[in-house]
Amino acid sequence: MHDSTVTFQGWLGGEVRLRSAAGVPAASFRVASTPRRFHRATNTWSDGPTQWFTVTAWRALAQHCADSLTTGDPVVVHGRLSQSTWVGGDNVERSTLEVEAALVGHDLNRGRSRFAKTERGAGEPRDDQPEPGGAEAGPAGEDAA
């Protein structure tokens, strides 16, 4: 695989939207990440340009994101990076950076969090294990290209 993976930290820019895609829970949310730089010569900090990411999580991770995250939370996200480009109704080309999350958590540099382990029922697949039917299944169970 030649996927581009990223790990970044930022702030949740809105509520987590939870939906069902072909019977599989899917969550999406936006994260703003603004780099800060320290300038030794002036002993000051400055902000760089804010980059927005659209994050999608699947299955149990989707449900946990919906249950655990609220607007303004500091988060750390790790996953596969992609870019989508389209032409809007005003004939202007736009693009977004999208991350299919493998891991999401609170940024503990910014505060405290409590972990609550969920119990799986007998025979339920783990999210980190391939589903029956092949390891190449995509997020909604479709075959990967």
Beta bridge partners of 3: none
| Class at the top of the CATH hierarchy for domain 4-106 | mainly beta
SS percent in the chain: helix, strand, coil, step 5: 5, 50, 45
pLDDT tens digits along 84-104: 999 999 999 999 999 999 999
Q: From the CB of residue 6, how many other CB atoms can be counted at a distance below 10 Å?
A: 13
pLDDT at 2 over 90: no
pTM: 0.77
pLDDT at 139 over 70: no
